[in-house]
Structure 1
Amino acid sequence: MDGIAGRKPALIWAVHLSVALLVILWTLPTFGLLVSSFRDKDQLSVSGWWTSLTSTERNVMVRVPAPNDDGAQVLEGSVYVIAGNVFDEGGAGDISAFGISSREPGAYEAGEVVTTKDGERISVQESGDYRIESDVEMTGKRGQRLFFTVLEPPLFTLDNYRTVLWSEGIGKSFLNTMTVTIPATVIPILIAAFAGYALAWMRFPGRTFLVAMVVGLIVVPLQMSLIPLLRLYTDIGIGKSYIGIWLAHTGFGLPLAIYLLRNYIKSLPKEIIESAKVDGASDFEIFVKIVLPLSFPALASFAIFQFLWTWNDLLVATVFLGNNEEQLVMTGRLRELLGSRGGNWEILTASAFVSIAVPLGVFFALQRYLVRGLLAGSVK
């Protein structure tokens, strides 16, 4: 029965199950991305991360040395033989089936001997050893094609991270990103803190209109202002510079910052502010000595949002900094590692975790203030 001591209502269980489901839905793709970042690039391109703990089947084609190549064909007794291993060029695994035609790549079991129309006898063992025999000398400028299905064990490697972390210019791009992110986080916080206090506690004409305008600016797409801002910056001489991108991120982040901080500061006890004014404190002294220390949860909340947004940004950095090697940020550098086709999945997965390492550290350091800052002012 609902409401009896010791038992939880059905609604609470439904809420708990819903939250658990949402956590799983958010965590599962991230876990899959993490697993993929350590997988061998060949296995990653042909199978999903959920198969990473089991052996994977892969169809491969190799061309053995041509009979006319030096040393390829040897005479053993009265039989001409071409032998080797299909994994000589790299790879490993157990071969379960093979074929000599692309139409039937797995027509024969490993170890089975196949006779071609030319009288050649071909076999491929589970270990990858192949043997082509003929009673007469084999001729031809091209080697026999062998198709086989290999059962590969799970392969994990750190090569993906080595490629990303030790790529040329990645250190410079990291410093460039820090150069952009830290000022672009601190500057809007400082401005928004002053504006939030003014809109919350200072009386002046047009205050309500300014609050409404700030709320309205939150939903304005930043893409609308990119080109006009770039033209303005170019005209005044700060185009393609750090000052320009700092100001751009500041402008794009201020509406949300002012909204959050104004709500939080407004929720502070009115008696504290009034007592300080009675004691003769100015608005600046009240703000610096009372409001600012009490507003740390809200400041931390916005710092998380702004830092994550600026660190992971590519669009604004491309517009206001360009692709100059000396000013290229992390997201731009990782984009270049992917190449023009973007098919290097091993680079993509490793790059994702390299790029989120610092934001994760910032989030876990400040996350205890996140909910307090976001919910401040929502109830009285």
Structure 2
Amino acid sequence: MAVDDDGIAGAKSSLSLVTNLTVAILVILWLIPTIGLLVSSFRDRDAISQSGWWKAPFPTQQNFAVRTEGEFMPEGDGWVLTGNLFGPEGSGSIAAFGGLRSDPTAFAPGETGELVRGRTLTVEENGDYIYFDPADEAPTRNPTVYLASSVPPDFSLDNYDTILTSAGMDVAFINTLTVTIPATIIPILIAAFAAYALAWMDFPSRGAIIALVVGLLVVPLQLALVPMLKFHNAIGIGQSFYGIWFAHTGFGLPLAIYLLRNYMVGLPRDIIESAKVDGATDFQVFTRIVLPLSFPALASFAIFQFLWTWNDLLVAKVFLPSNSESWVMTVKIADDLLGSRGGDWGILAAAAFISIAVPLLVFFTMQRYLVRGLLAGSVK
């Protein structure tokens, strides 16, 4: 008689195996682009444009434009220019060459390429070239030769050095901290009081307020941007740090209240009732019993709020002044680096990793509270 392991204490079910496998696949799917971004941050612009990040450890073929040097010498019915494309002391290997920018790999090494107006070009694999021009007089301008050459892998910190020494990046970092820290602390303070009231205090319309909070979770913040900005202008704070603090507080409160209320409802009722029997007020119960016991939920929301405000771009663009002295890091990267270096993906990749350094530190420092805070109240 066969016995199914499912449901037996100490035995792993098939559902557990599927769950673990699914989680592993999701982690890999998220990890692959992150690794690609990290590798690209150590490569230069040419290497990124020529090959994918997965080919970074291997030599790549890149196209170059080389202006020839030397003087034309008369030979037969024209003029000849000879030399080496890698210079007098250079060395390398040429995979292909051409005489036009639009077709830099038209000819193979050792082949004589027919150019315009009867000109010819021969390039050997080691870089030696012979350029022939049938003109009556010596050309006054040396030609440009286009070639494809194998380049060994090269990794450097130049992209990070460019970002860290960029004008205004230090100010943007300070501005980001100035926005993020208050925008994380303020909603936690307000939501903690509100969550305790909704969890343990009995007053009229409490159920309606809870339903309203749950409903606000699904409201897109884009709907409130313009009305809130008009309200800020009306009360005199306009586009300022005060304005963005209040904006992040308003957008973060529904999730904070919902998360903390679910956690506080699951706290032991006997402890709270015993404290009230001993004469403790609601404020004393909240500050001395509920708040210390709710630290995992507080830390869980703090992680979410910190990551959201640190990486925010939309709210910062709307509620902060447009001058560079008020830019946060996301705006600095989007408006300055992305605008001036839109094709330099190495610079942008390095900027992305610099911007997520602090959120990663916060996440890994407080991750043990994240699951405890999210799962609190889900089971009884």
TM-score by length of 2: 0.89
Report matched runs for 1:173-252 at 5 Å: 173-252=172-251
What is the one-letter code of the residue matched to 2:16? I
What is the one-letter code of the residue matched to 1:276? A
What is the distance in 1 between the residues matched to 2:153 and 2:39? Answer: 11
Larger mean Cα displacement after TM superposition, 164-173 or 325-334 = 325-334
The CA deviation string for residues 321-363 of structure 1, in whole angstroms up to 9 with x for no partner, is 1321221111111111121673221121111101100000000
What is the distance in 2 between the residues matched to 1:294 and 1:198? Answer: 16
Structure 2 residue aligned with 1:3: 5
What is the one-letter code of the residue matched to 1:128? G
| Paired residue secondary structure (2:122) | strand
Cα pair distance change 1:232/1:102, threshold 3 Å? closer
| Paired residue secondary structure (1:146) | strand
The CA deviation string for residues 288-326 of structure 1, in whole angstroms up to 9 with x for no partner, is 111111111000100010001100111111111132122
Structure 2 residue aligned with 1:261: 260
What is the one-letter code of the residue matched to 2:213? V
What is the distance in 2 between the residues matched to 1:235 and 1:141? Answer: 70
Contact 1:46–1:58 (Cα < 8 Å) also in 2: yes
Cα pair distance change 1:237/1:72, threshold 3 Å? farther
What is the distance in 1 between the residues matched to 2:372 and 2:101? Answer: 63
Report the Cα offset of residue 139 of structure 1: 3.1
Report the Cα offset of residue 161 of structure 1: 0.8
Cα pair distance change 1:115/1:19, threshold 3 Å? closer
Structure 1 residue aligned with 2:25: 21
What is the one-letter code of the residue matched to 1:152? V
1:152 paired with 2:151, answer: yes
Report the Cα offset of residue 64 of structure 1: 3.5
What is the distance in 2 between the residues matched to 1:330 and 1:292? Answer: 33
Specify every segment of 5 or more residues in structure 2 that has no aligned partner in the other structure, as ranges: none
What is the one-letter code of the residue matched to 1:198? A
Alignment RMSD, CA only? 2.8
| Paired residue secondary structure (1:249) | helix
Structure 2 residue aligned with 1:50: 54
Cα pair distance change 1:316/1:118, threshold 3 Å? closer
The CA deviation string for residues 25-44 of structure 1, in whole angstroms up to 9 with x for no partner, is 11111011101111121011
What is the distance in 1 between the residues matched to 2:313 and 2:101? Answer: 44
1:353 paired with 2:353, answer: yes
Contact 1:92–1:152 (Cα < 8 Å) also in 2: no
Structure 1 residue aligned with 2:366: 366
| Paired residue secondary structure (2:326) | coil
Cα pair distance change 1:264/1:350, threshold 3 Å? same
| Paired residue secondary structure (1:326) | helix
Specify every segment of 5 or more residues in structure 1 that has no aligned partner in the other structure, as ranges: 66-70
TM-score by length of 1: 0.89
1:320 paired with 2:319, answer: yes
1:39 paired with 2:38, answer: no
Report matched runs for 1:74-223 at 5 Å: 74=73, 81-86=80-85, 94-100=93-99, 105-114=104-113, 122-132=121-131, 139-223=138-222
Larger mean Cα displacement after TM superposition, 201-210 or 144-153 = 144-153
Report the Cα offset of residue 120 of structure 1: 5.8
| Paired residue secondary structure (1:349) | helix
Cα pair distance change 1:171/1:103, threshold 3 Å? closer
What is the distance in 2 between the residues matched to 1:35 and 1:108? Answer: 33
Larger mean Cα displacement after TM superposition, 288-297 or 119-128 = 119-128
